[in-house]
Amino acid sequence: MTLQQAPTHADGRQPLERSLPTDFYLIDELLTDEERRIRDRVRAFCDREVAPIINDYWERAEFPFELVPRFAELGVVGGTLQGYGCPGMSSVAWGLVNMELARADASVQTFYNVHSGLAMISIAMLGSEEQRQRWLPAMARMEQIGAFGLTEPEHGSDSVRLETSARRDGAHYVLDGAKRWIGNGSFADLVIIWARDDDGKVGGFVVEKGTPGFEAEVMTGKIAKRAVWQADIKLRGVRVAADNRLADSRSFRDTTRVLTATRSGVGWTALGHALAAYEAAVAYTGEREQFGKPLAAFQLVQEKLAGMLAEITSMQLLCLRLSQLAEAGKMTPAMASLAKLNNSRKARQIVADARDLLGGNGILLEYHVARHFADMEAVFSYEGTDHIQALLVGRQITGIQALS
Ligand SMILES: Cc1cc2nc3c(=O)[nH]c(=O)nc-3n(C[C@H](O)[C@H](O)[C@H](O)COP(=O)(O)OP(=O)(O)OC[C@H]3O[C@@H](n4cnc5c(N)ncnc54)[C@H](O)[C@@H]3O)c2cc1C
């Protein structure tokens, strides 16, 4: 294990050896060189380019567009996808990318996840070869940005009941309806709108920027993920070519295949938030003195830090195994749900504990924990709420559908 010296304290107390806080079980040893290289590249990008600017964007609720071209240079867009200019990285590497981005900032990670995950995976998984060739290379280069429009004002957890319609009209479909919470939706070049056709079957329809009848308004007043934009979308007689329907999107079951594929990334994302908050808490409690000694010297504080590390270590092992299963084609939807449920719950507690350990400074953006604390609330609810994940796992355990 890598060891480092704690700083000598002014009162002459002996410095202690302590372990670097976040790899207690030497999980780094289980990664390939390539996975470590990708993680380190993303971490360096985050340290250099995201961390210094993000609090300001978060506070102003502005999206840091300046970072968009930098993603293309990082070589991580498209994640595990092969070909079409995508990096074809391992599932573990893709998880590490999500973890590192979240460790830096949830908004930046969400932008990446919506574009490179939800939108590109929909096209890769459900598009024809012609559709993949048409859209994926430009998306991999970040010349075209994607969005994923499933949630509606009246249908969140029950998006299976979505009402947006796609009426066939000769060589076109005509879309009518509304979408809500659509990340990147106000500026994306391609928005995949999930809508119900004349036969009641759900399909994914690619709406290209500038199509008449498509209106998107940025949602305001958020207390989480303030530096990334979600849109309220209105679709009024939006005509798209029949060729814009993703060829293999024939039912809601196909939509859920995409959601399962991206859900494992949420487990890694929650881990990233937990790591950031824990690292900040370890650093802060080592420095801040009360009653004449560092906070870290109090038993109650050490107990809290130990509990946080225990949870982080279990989250790391769970993520690694889940991604190995995904790589081997053995990950089931319930396995992905279990990771989202478990890691979101744990990370939510860890960011709250870290916020507590920073005292009043825990609510100041300057100390970074406050942002993770607020952002984790959105992670807890999006891509399927905690209840919904529990019900999906519960169905697997009991064989009984309790979701509806
Ligand atoms: C920051 C953010 C980004 C997002 N990005 C996107 C995006 O890019 N694209 C997109 O399509 N969507 C997106 N979403 C939407 C997200 O997926 C939904 O918010 C989520 O699915 C929950 O839906 P809802 O908000 O309507 O909550 P609801 O479904 O109304 O749930 C409210 C509460 O009721 C509970 N509940 C609902 N049904 C049941 C049940 N059967 N049993 C027990 N409890 C139940 C829920 O667990 C929750 O506690 C985003 C959301 C957020 C917050």
Is the Cβ–Cβ distance between 348 and 370 less than 8 Å?
no
**How far is the CA of 298 from the CAs of 5, 106, 304, in angstroms?**
19, 31, 10
Residue nearest to atom 44 of ligand 1 (CA): 387
Give the pair of three-digit tokens for residue 9: 């304290």
Of 155, 158, 181, the residue with max ligand 1 atoms within 8 A of its CB, to mutate for a pocket test, comes to 181
Please give the distance of CA 324 from its chain centroid, rounded to a whole number.
19
Give dist(CA 263, CA 82) in Å, integer.
19
How many Å lie between the centroid of ligand 1 and the Cα of residue 344? 14
pLDDT number for residue 4:
38
Give dist(CA 325, CA 3) in Å, integer.
32
Atom of ligand 1 nearest to the CA of 118: 8
Q: What is the CA radius of gyration of the chain?
A: 22
Classify 31 as helix, strand or coil: coil
Q: Is the pTM of this model over 0.85?
A: yes
pLDDT number for residue 382:
96
For residue 295, the 8-state DSSP code is: G
- Residue 316: pLDDT band by 50, 70, 90 thresholds? very high
Residue nearest to atom 9 of ligand 1 (CA): 182
Cβ 376 under 6 angstroms from ligand 1: no
Closest to 67 (Cα-Cα) out of 96, 36, 110: 110
Please give the class, per CATH, of domain 253-398: mainly alpha
Cβ 138 under 6 angstroms from ligand 1: no
How many Å lie between the centroid of ligand 1 and the Cα of residue 205? 21
pLDDT of 241 over the 80 cut = yes
Give dist(CA 85, CA 82) in Å, integer.
8
Cβ 383 under 6 angstroms from ligand 1: yes
Please list, in sequence order, all residues whose beta carbon lies within 8 angstroms of the beta carbon of residue 401, skipping any fewer than 6 positions away. Answer: 395
Residue nearest to atom 26 of ligand 1 (CA): 156
Task: Report the pLDDT averaged over residues 71-96.
Answer: 96
How many Å lie between the centroid of ligand 1 and the Cα of residue 169? 32
For residue 142, give the amino acid letter.
M
User: pLDDT digits over 130-143, tens only?
Assistant: 999 999 999 999 99
Q: Where in the chain is the domain with CATH 1.10.540.10?
A: 27-140
Classify 208 as helix, strand or coil: strand
User: pLDDT digits over 332-376, tens only?
Assistant: 999 999 999 999 999 999 999 999 999 999 999 999 999 999 999
Cβ 191 under 6 angstroms from ligand 1: no
Give dist(CA 280, CA 47) in Å, integer.
14
Beta bridge partners of residue 182, listed in sequence order: 231
Query: What distance, in Å, lies between the first and last C-alpha atoms of the chain?
Result: 49
Fold of 27-140: Butyryl-Coa Dehydrogenase, subunit A; domain 1 (1.10.540)
Cβ 114 under 6 angstroms from ligand 1: yes
By percentage, how much of the chain surpasses pLDDT 70? 95
How many Å lie between the centroid of ligand 1 and the Cα of residue 179? 13
Residue nearest to atom 25 of ligand 1 (CA): 156
Closest to 322 (Cα-Cα) out of 340, 300, 349, 307: 340
- Residue 3: pLDDT band by 50, 70, 90 thresholds? very low
Give dist(CA 220, CA 325) in Å, integer.
39
pLDDT of 6 over the 50 cut = no
Beta bridge partners of residue 207, listed in sequence order: 191
How many Å lie between the centroid of ligand 1 and the Cα of residue 148? 14
Q: Where in the chain is the domain with CATH 2.40.110.10?
A: 146-250
How many Å lie between the centroid of ligand 1 and the Cα of residue 384? 6
User: pLDDT digits over 19-75, tens only?
Assistant: 457 899 999 999 999 999 999 999 999 999 999 999 999 999 999 999 999 988 999
Closest to 268 (Cα-Cα) out of 89, 14, 130, 82: 89
How many Å lie between the centroid of ligand 1 and the Cα of residue 386? 9
pLDDT of 94 over the 80 cut = yes
Q: Where in the chain is the domain with CATH 1.20.140.10?
A: 253-398
User: pLDDT digits over 244-288, tens only?
Assistant: 999 999 999 999 999 999 998 999 999 999 999 999 999 999 999
pLDDT number for residue 20:
56
pLDDT of 158 over the 90 cut = yes
Give dist(CA 121, CA 192) in Å, integer.
11
Q: Which helix (H) or strand (E) holds 338?
A: helix 333-357
Cβ 148 under 6 angstroms from ligand 1: yes
Q: How would DSSP label each residue in 212-249? A: TTEEEEE----SSSTTS-EEEEEEEEEEEEGGGB-TT-
How many Å lie between the centroid of ligand 1 and the Cα of residue 355? 25
Please give the class, per CATH, of domain 146-250: mainly beta
pLDDT of 221 over the 60 cut = yes
Atom of ligand 1 nearest to the CA of 378: 53
Cβ 109 under 6 angstroms from ligand 1: no
pLDDT number for residue 8:
46
Task: Report the pLDDT averaged over residues 153-158.
Answer: 98
